[in-house]
Amino acid sequence: MKRKRPAKIIDGKKISAAILNDLRDEIATLNRKGIVPGLAVALVGDDPASQVYVRAKRRTCADLGIASFSYDLPRNCAEKRLLKLIDKLNADPKVHGILVQMPLPKQISEKRALEAIRPEKDVDGFHPVNVGRLLNGEECFAACTPAGCHALLLRSGYDPAGKHVVIVGRSNIVGKPLAALLMQKAAGANATVTVCHSRTRNIGRYTREADILVAAMGVPEFIKPRMVREGAVVLDVGVNRIPDASRKSGTRLIGDVAFAGVSKKARAITPVPGGVGPMTIAMLMTNTVKAARLASEGR
């Protein structure tokens, strides 16, 4: 039987605005101690999508009163130059968080760049020390998009405890860290997690079992209504740009979930855009303020 009511829309814009608003109080407390949280963002090259992301991060910093330090390096920048910059930022007490925008041009090893960042300043949560701590359930910086998915669930009243969460996608930046976050023996986690990927046979068999389904593949509208259980909560991490002649830009963004059909079956669902996307920046700001607080406590 089909659900009679359409799914509740999980509004990432509203929830991320509430998270950023909560951060203002914490920033004010730090300011009273003479501390201004600082985020350094390094962008190498002129990839248009990266430029858009970096601008949005810098704008949000400015809006919150987080000091933003910008480093725009040319596309042909040598790895050595970037590593030297990271060293300098590691040593700068005004910089609490360091973000190197990915992807990097091919002459620079992403692994070496990420590992050069001190784990205490790794607000993107990609350093192996933070990844390991996350898996161990220790204090760490969790990657921003998975942390954003987790926050969306909790702030919308969908505690994953005891629920079967099925994640489609096993990347290091979304699927794997999200699985690690949700499987922890900890308040707000305690989920049973299944992770699917391109080698999973008959994905629908798993997705139909999900109380909470997370699509993080980068395949437009892959998740069809027949793959979703009635009453499931669906998070769509996918961001896919497709041609659309009716738009001035000639394109539009869609997710990995066939929203129109799935929203008739799901209990709640995130839209694209306006769902998981805005949460990523909110969690980056949260991590930066946390880094400043921990530094002020000498940790």
Ligand X SMILES: NC(=O)c1ccc[n+]([C@@H]2O[C@H](COP(=O)([O-])OP(=O)(O)OC[C@H]3O[C@@H](n4cnc5c(N)ncnc54)[C@H](OP(=O)(O)O)[C@@H]3O)[C@@H](O)[C@H]2O)c1
State the catalytic residues.
Answer: 57, 101, 124
Residue found under tokens 């999980």: 10
Nearer residue to ligand X within complex by CB, 168 or 183: 168
Based on CB atoms, which residue is closest to ligand X, 120 or 206? Answer: 206
Tell me how far, at minimum, the Cβ of 278 lies from ligand X, in Å: 8
Among 219, 253, 264, 294, binds ligand X (CB under 6 A): 219
The region, left, alpha or beta by phi > 0 then psi within -120 to 50, assigned to residue 295 is: alpha
Least distance from ligand X to the Cβ atom of residue 11, Å: 14
| Residue 177 found at the interface with ligand X (CB under 6 A) | no
- With CB under 6 A as the contact rule, the residue among 104, 193, 216, 228 that binds ligand X is 216
277 binds ligand X (CB under 6 A): yes
Nearest residue (CB) to ligand X, 5 versus 199:
199
Cβ of 227: how many Cβ atoms within 10 Å?
23
- Number of residues counted as binding ligand X (CB under 6 A): 25
The reply to whether 238 sits near ligand X by the rule CB under 6 A is yes
108 binds ligand X (CB under 6 A): no
* Identity of the residue, 68 or 270, whose beta carbon is nearer to ligand X in the bound complex: 270
Closest separation between CB of residue 275 and ligand X, Å? Answer: 8
Which x/- pattern over 195-214 shows residues binding ligand X (rule: CB under 6 A)? -xxxx---x-----------
What would the x/- binding string for ligand X be over residues 135 to 174, using CB under 6 A? ----------x----------------------xxxx-xx
What secondary structure does DSSP assign to the chain, as a single string?
A: ---SSPPEE--HHHHHHHHHHHHHHHHHHHHHTT---EEEEEEES--HHHHHHHHHHHHHHHHHT-EEEEEEE-TT--HHHHHHHHHHHHH-TT--EEEEPSSPPTTS-HHHHHHHS-GGG-TT--SHHHHHHHHHT-S-PPPHHHHHHHHHHHHTT---TT-EEEEE---TTTHHHHHHHHHSSSTT---EEEEE-TT-SSHHHHHTT-SEEEE-S--TT-B-GGGS-TT-EEEE---EEEE-TTSTTSEEEE-SB-HHHHTTT-SEE--SSSSSHHHHHHHHHHHHHHHHHHHHTT-
Q: How far is residue 96 CA from its own chain's centroid? A: 19
Segment interacting with ligand X (CB under 6 A) among 35-43, 83-91, 134-142, 233-241 = 233-241
For residue 52, count other CB atoms closer than 10 A to its CB: 10
**Binding segment (CB under 6 A) for ligand X, from list 3-11, 101-109, 182-190, 193-201:** 193-201
Taking CB under 6 A as the rule, does residue 280 contact ligand X?
yes
| Site membership for ligand X, residue 125 (CB under 6 A) | no
Q: Does 105 bind ligand X (CB under 6 A)?
A: no
Q: Is 175 in the site for ligand X (CB under 6 A)?
A: yes
Which spans of this chain sit near ligand X (rule: CB under 6 A)? 145, 168-171, 173-175, 196-199, 203, 216-219, 222, 237-240, 276-277, 280
